[in-house]
Amino acid sequence: MKIVMCASEVVPFAKTGGLADVAGALPIALEKAGHEVIVIMPGYKAVYAKTALLIKNVRPGLSSAAIGKAVKVYFIDHDFYFNRDALYGDKAGDYIDNIDRFSFFCRRTLDLLKEIDFKADIIHCHDWQSAMVPVYLKSMTYSTDPFYKTMRTVFTIHNIGYQGLFNKNEFPKLGLAWNFFGVESLEYYEQVNFLKGGIVFSDVINTVSDTYSKEIRTSEFGFGMEGILDKRKDSLFGIINGLDYSIWDPAADNFIAAKFSAKDPAGKSVCKEDLQKICKFPLKKNVPLVGVVSRLAQQKGFDIVAEGIDKMCKMDLQMVILGTGDEKYHKIMESMVKKYPKVISLHLKFDDTLAHKIYAGSDIFLMPSRYEPCGLGQMISMKYGALPLVFKTGGLADTVDASNGFIFDKYSSEELLKTVKKALQAYQSPEKWKKLVDKAIKCDFSWLVSAKKYVQLYENARNRS
Ligand code: ADP
């Protein structure tokens, strides 16, 4: 099959979250399975800042590089739109011209396919930033151009909380007829909603876990999209993300202090000591080390973590937090560091190396997300022998159970604290702990399995008229 992966962030070129991991790894897995894949993303400033990546300018407005064996990655260049410090916004909030930036990206994506004569079977779009591709494909000149006629679209929702909402006044910028602005189309309460466009106009929709695909059809998790998703329930699927084990494997990880594996786990204690040193913690072997690598946001469970953190710091544990997010949570955690400097260590930044060291050095990985479309953190932590402690939702519910981690099913700080206590108790029983770690380390979330499911989904989309 000829497949286009269209995404606003792709590892190793630009990343703010899990979407980038998927958009970087899935094309390579598809290539391995014998498909012809290209990737299209914006050419941000960050992409060109990484000089180690071999990026060639093809012509004005277009650059390219390669991943995997020969997957071509095309960068849509636009100095004004994409040569900025961040991907979507700065401290002041989202960039005010995101509607221009990402509608431009989507239209250029479709134009590019014709320019390079890539007659795709499937255009696989991700999240609101590329959600206008399916809309444009069924409108403007694309809908009548024979070149695009057999192309089908798959739209993956990585997080329904981010929808790309814009003022109705800006609708004309999209170049679409007003009949595309309506409740059956792009309108959402007098606003333009890109994500909704993707849901309505794509051939097949999926989310990144089975449980999340069901949750988003309810008002609790649907962020207003539950109605339209329920209408499209026959076209809505769930495929858990794979994990890129070429990046996340403690047996071959150059970022960590000592390599280890299920067969040879001795290096893990070296990694723990290394992490304790980084955190300036007492070098105690028998105190469980709790790691967090996460956005500091309510979605990630920081409301209940913040509520329970003082009590947690009084328990017999050490805790390291890496991440940035809401100022409110930065402050709360900073005050905890002042109060319990030997117990909690805070790193308010994005730091890949430290992330690897935390997965490798922790005993428990705390990820009590209120909702979690898939979640990579828990899968990574399992591979590194850090047992995930999670709330039962979305992808967390699909990957963690009592045999490989700790899971609670009522979202509250009391339940969180109870579960932390349970984990600390289990840690005191080395035999029990070893069994859990062994099961976790052996979990296989490889892309091969998920890529196969995507191929089935693409076949499904191709069979739609
Ligand atoms: P999200 O909702 O943020 O996409 P995921 O769990 O799906 O959550 O993916 C998060 C990814 O980003 C993981 O690979 C995680 O290790 C990484 N990550 C998150 N915060 C940081 C950080 N501050 N520094 C380094 N890596 C981070």
Q: Is 433 exposed, middle or buried (0-12, 13-18, 19+ CB in 10 A)?
A: middle
Q: Is 70 exposed, middle or buried (0-12, 13-18, 19+ CB in 10 A)?
A: exposed
Picking from 239-243, 244-248, 423-427, which range would have the lowest pLDDT averaged per residue? 244-248
For residues 245 and 253, the answer to whether their CB atoms sit within 8 Å is no
Given a cut of 90, whether residue 51 has pLDDT beyond it is no
CA distance 31 to 437: 33
Helix, strand or coil, per DSSP, at residue 183: coil
17 Cα to the center of ligand 1, angstroms: 5
Ligand 1 contact via 323 beta carbon (within 6 Å): yes
214-224 average pLDDT score: 96
**Which atom in ligand 1 lies closest to the alpha carbon of residue 295?**
20
Given a cut of 90, whether residue 50 has pLDDT beyond it is no
Ligand 1 contact via 355 beta carbon (within 6 Å): yes
Ligand 1 contact via 293 beta carbon (within 6 Å): yes
174 Cα to the center of ligand 1, angstroms: 32
CA–chain centroid gap for 249, Å, is: 18
Q: What is the pLDDT of residue 243?
A: 92
For residues 128 and 162, the answer to whether their CB atoms sit within 8 Å is yes
- Give the model confidence (pLDDT) of 275-287 as tens digits: 999 999 999 999 9
Given a cut of 90, whether residue 273 has pLDDT beyond it is yes
Closest to 375 measured CA to CA, from 269, 308, 294, 258: 294
Amino acid at 230: D
**Which atom in ligand 1 lies closest to the alpha carbon of residue 359?**
16
- Portion of the chain with pLDDT greater than 70, in percent: 100
For residues 297 and 326, the answer to whether their CB atoms sit within 8 Å is yes
Closest to 278 measured CA to CA, from 354, 336, 356: 354
128 Cα to the center of ligand 1, angstroms: 19
- Give the model confidence (pLDDT) of 328-382 as tens digits: 999 999 999 999 999 999 999 999 999 999 999 999 999 999 999 999 999 999 9
Q: What is the pLDDT of residue 18?
A: 84
Ligand 1 contact via 43 beta carbon (within 6 Å): no
Residue identifier of the C-alpha nearest atom 3 of ligand 1: 17
33 Cα to the center of ligand 1, angstroms: 27
Q: What is the pLDDT of residue 362?
A: 98
Closest to 384 measured CA to CA, from 279, 284, 277, 256: 256
Structure tokens at 210: 């089975």
Q: What is the pLDDT of residue 17?
A: 84
Residue identifier of the C-alpha nearest atom 9 of ligand 1: 18
- Portion of the chain with pLDDT greater than 90, in percent: 97
Helix, strand or coil, per DSSP, at residue 24: helix
DSSP E strands in 403-443: the ranges are 406-408
Helix, strand or coil, per DSSP, at residue 219: coil
**Which atom in ligand 1 lies closest to the alpha carbon of residue 299?**
2
Structure tokens at 239: 């495929």
CA distance 370 to 161: 12
15-33 average pLDDT score: 93
424 Cα to the center of ligand 1, angstroms: 25
339 Cα to the center of ligand 1, angstroms: 27
Ligand 1 contact via 375 beta carbon (within 6 Å): yes
Closest to 21 measured CA to CA, from 244, 210, 173: 244
431-437 average pLDDT score: 97
293 Cα to the center of ligand 1, angstroms: 6
Structure tokens at 461: 């989309």
CA-to-CA dists, residue 379 to 165, 352, 387, angstroms: 31, 16, 10
Q: What is the pLDDT of residue 410?
A: 98
CA distance 148 to 68: 27
CA distance 366 to 390: 7
Structure tokens at 49: 């800042």
459 Cα to the center of ligand 1, angstroms: 31
b vs e for 107-126, b when ≥16 Cβ sit within 10 Å of the residue's Cβ?
A: bbbbebbeeeebebbbbbbb
Label residue 155 by pLDDT band (50, 70, 90).
Answer: very high
Ligand 1 contact via 205 beta carbon (within 6 Å): no
- Give the model confidence (pLDDT) of 135-147 as tens digits: 999 999 999 999 9
378 Cα to the center of ligand 1, angstroms: 10
- Give the model confidence (pLDDT) of 58-104 as tens digits: 999 999 999 999 999 999 999 999 999 999 999 899 999 999 999 99
Averaged pLDDT score across all residues of the chain:
96
Q: What is the pLDDT of residue 99?
A: 98
262 Cα to the center of ligand 1, angstroms: 24
Label residue 52 by pLDDT band (50, 70, 90).
Answer: confident
92 Cα to the center of ligand 1, angstroms: 22
Q: What is the pLDDT of residue 434?
A: 96
Given a cut of 80, whether residue 19 has pLDDT beyond it is yes
Q: What is the pLDDT of residue 272?
A: 98
Residue identifier of the C-alpha nearest atom 19 of ligand 1: 294
**Alpha helices, DSSP H only, in 250-326?**
267-278, 302-313
H or E segment at 4? strand 2-6
Structure tokens at 462: 């191709």
Which residue bears the tokens 């012809």?
Answer: 36
Ligand 1 contact via 350 beta carbon (within 6 Å): yes
**Which atom in ligand 1 lies closest to the alpha carbon of residue 322?**
23
Ligand 1 contact via 377 beta carbon (within 6 Å): yes
Ligand 1 contact via 351 beta carbon (within 6 Å): yes
Phi, psi (deg, nearest 5) at residue 152? -120, 155
